[in-house]
Structure 1
Amino acid sequence: MSYDTQVPPAAPRQAMRNGLGTAALILGIIGTLSGLIPLLFWLAGTLGVIALILGLVGKGRVKRGEANNKGVTLTGAILGLVSLILATVGLIITVTAVSDAVEEIDKSIKDAAPQDPTKAGGSSGDAGTTDKGTADKGKGLADGDSSVYDDKLKITVSDPKAYTASEYAVGHTKGNKAYQVTVVVENGGTKKFDAVGVLLSARAGAEGVEAEQIFDEKVGAGFQGSVLPGKKATLTVAFDTPKAAKTLSVEVNPGFDYNPSQWELKLG
């Protein structure tokens, strides 16, 4: 009598679960490269955390024999940690840079703000730049007063004088009056000042009606070119006002980086 001896089939080999280690390596590499750019600290930090977690979980699988990519998993976890370190450094660099930029902007705004005209050091008798020092804080400057900025730029507006517009003048309405003022820009700083950006506007009377600027063969052109340190530029400008207007408010804005200054002038 013979017996057939059957050998039981071998148990199927368990597939290795190497996905977490591979994912940790890929994310760790991307996170590390992102961390080299300070502005991408947020991306490096996010990928670093994920890579570190996947690497640690993958390492546990290797210990249990569920995965066999120990080197890949360990490298992914290390790169995840490196990404976190680079993200921290990038965050510090970014915050410092933003803080410095804000300080520079605040400084620029402060430098552009006009000083109290009562503290300006104009010299008496210097035509167009004499600082009477009679303006109060919160009020417009008077004729002859100077607005002095922290960069030593000095703007002075003279008293208004009656102006006779030509027959073909633009901006003058028949029946209205015309007044001219002289605006002096003095550069007391160390850098040249671009006078082209100086803007002028005016309002007349108690109602604050817009006083249109007059253009003819004598007035109307704006400041041209630059003003070198220690030099001045003078411009005569005329405005059209209602016949009954008793005051003229003139605003001068030296440029984008400056705050405008106003003069409250009495019309004769």
Structure 2
Amino acid sequence: MSQTQQQPQFPPFQPQPPQQVARNGLGTAALILGIIGALSGIVPFLFWLAGILGVIALILGLTGRGRAKRGEATNKGVALTGVILALVSLGLAVFGAVTTFKAVDDAVDEINKSVSDAQPKDTKPSGDAKDAGKSDTGADDEKPDPDKALEAGDSVIYDDDLTVTVSNAVSYNPSEYAAGHTAGNHAYKVTVTVTNDSKEKFDSTLLTADARAGKDGVDAEQVFDEKVGTGFDGTILPGKKATVVYAFDAPADAKNLTVEVTPSFEYNATQWDLKL
């Protein structure tokens, strides 16, 4: 009786599925952008950068958390931290925008206030010009127009009670060391007086004076001659005044000299039409 030898039985070979690689990139990117956005939001005027990074980080973080829930990623905590930082970035962006816009509005208001304060509020003609503006009853018939050139001896008063007065033009002979005088032209002295009736000291070094001569308005070059033309120096305290002499070179046939004085960049310029 023969015996049949049995062959060993092996289970069929089944290939193992490839191991899935964790997709942690979105969570990591959300964390990085959230950190940068939050740091940017600390500086108010970088609110726009914090807002952009916050939005991107929020989207990436939520997507990264979704992957982690589906088992496609292993950094659920990192993605959650990115979402939290994204929300912080957005909050700081809103705060920075409000702060920045308020600061800009305040700055514009201050500039407008400074410009308004620099507008001439009135002019006070002196001498004959003052009497000419009054009727027989002593009341002013009409105030001088600050948009028109004033006459010699007239004063302009700004809203802060700073007063500027320009005298008539007086002919004089420059010395041989004078600068700005051309042979054949005539030189004229003009006295500028600043009275500070405001509540703050006035920096007189910022005052500038220019002139044009004749009917064609030719630029009259300023003459510097010893103490003539040196301009103001230092500050003028409240309740005090200061006077300096400027000189301008005009063509010999010029009949008038238009002097323009600007107390500083905070004040409007005012012109005086002086007869020669």
Choose 247-256 or 218-227, whichever is displaced more. 218-227
The residue matched to 2:221 in structure 1 has which SS? coil
Q: 1:15 to 1:131 in 2, by over 3 A?
A: farther
Structure-2 residue corresponding to 1:263: 272
Aligned 8 A contact 1:131 1:145 in 2: no
Q: Which runs of 5+ in 1 are unaligned?
A: none
The AA in structure 2 aligned to 1:262 is: Q
How many residue pairs were aligned?
A: 260
The residue matched to 2:230 in structure 1 has which SS? coil
Superposition pairs for residues 158-197 of structure 1, below 5 Å? 158-197=167-206
The AA in structure 1 aligned to 2:267 is: Y
Q: 1:72 to 1:234 in 2, by over 3 A?
A: same
Aligned 8 A contact 1:188 1:231 in 2: yes
The counterpart of 2:24, out of the listed 10, 18, 24, is: 18
Aligned 8 A contact 2:196 2:240 in 1: yes
Offset, 1:231: 0.4
Q: Which runs of 5+ in 2 are unaligned?
A: 1-5, 134-141
Structure-1 residue corresponding to 2:247: 238
Once residues 252 and 75 of structure 1 are traced to their aligned partners in structure 2, the CA distance between those partners, rounded to angstroms, is 64
Superposition pairs for residues 106-255 of structure 1, below 5 Å? 106-117=112-123, 120=124, 135-217=144-226, 219-255=228-264
- Establish whether residue 5 from structure 1 lines up as the match of residue 14 from structure 2: no
Instruction: Please give the per-residue CA displacement for 1:58-104, whole angstroms capped at 9, x wherever unaligned.
Output: 12112211112221111111211121111111111111111111111
Larger CA Rg, structure 1 vs 2: 2
Choose 213-222 or 257-266, whichever is displaced more. 213-222
Offset, 1:187: 0.8
The residue matched to 1:116 in structure 2 has which SS? strand
Instruction: Please give the per-residue CA displacement for 1:125-159, whole angstroms capped at 9, x wherever unaligned.
Output: 7xxx9997863243111111112222221110012
Choose 211-220 or 43-52, whichever is displaced more. 211-220
Superposition pairs for residues 12-161 of structure 1, below 5 Å? 12-117=18-123, 120=124, 135-161=144-170
The AA in structure 2 aligned to 1:111 is: D
Once residues 82 and 223 of structure 2 are traced to their aligned partners in structure 1, the CA distance between those partners, rounded to angstroms, is 74
Once residues 243 and 77 of structure 1 are traced to their aligned partners in structure 2, the CA distance between those partners, rounded to angstroms, is 81
Choose 53-62 or 238-247, whichever is displaced more. 238-247
Once residues 69 and 46 of structure 2 are traced to their aligned partners in structure 1, the CA distance between those partners, rounded to angstroms, is 34
Once residues 76 and 130 of structure 1 are traced to their aligned partners in structure 2, the CA distance between those partners, rounded to angstroms, is 80
Once residues 54 and 217 of structure 2 are traced to their aligned partners in structure 1, the CA distance between those partners, rounded to angstroms, is 62
Q: 1:24 to 1:215 in 2, by over 3 A?
A: closer
Once residues 262 and 229 of structure 2 are traced to their aligned partners in structure 1, the CA distance between those partners, rounded to angstroms, is 17
Once residues 81 and 22 of structure 1 are traced to their aligned partners in structure 2, the CA distance between those partners, rounded to angstroms, is 16
Aligned 8 A contact 1:156 1:184 in 2: yes
Once residues 216 and 144 of structure 2 are traced to their aligned partners in structure 1, the CA distance between those partners, rounded to angstroms, is 22
Aligned 8 A contact 2:120 2:146 in 1: no
Once residues 265 and 92 of structure 1 are traced to their aligned partners in structure 2, the CA distance between those partners, rounded to angstroms, is 53
Offset, 1:110: 1.9
Instruction: Please give the per-residue CA displacement for 1:194-233, whole angstroms capped at 9, x wherever unaligned.
Output: 1122111111110112222223345232111211111000
Offset, 1:252: 0.9
Once residues 72 and 226 of structure 2 are traced to their aligned partners in structure 1, the CA distance between those partners, rounded to angstroms, is 93
Q: Over aligned residues, Cα RMSD in angstroms?
A: 2.4
The AA in structure 2 aligned to 1:36 is: I
Percent identity for Structure 1 against Structure 2: 60
Q: TM-score, normalised by structure 2?
A: 0.86
Aligned 8 A contact 1:135 1:145 in 2: no
Offset, 1:243: 2.0
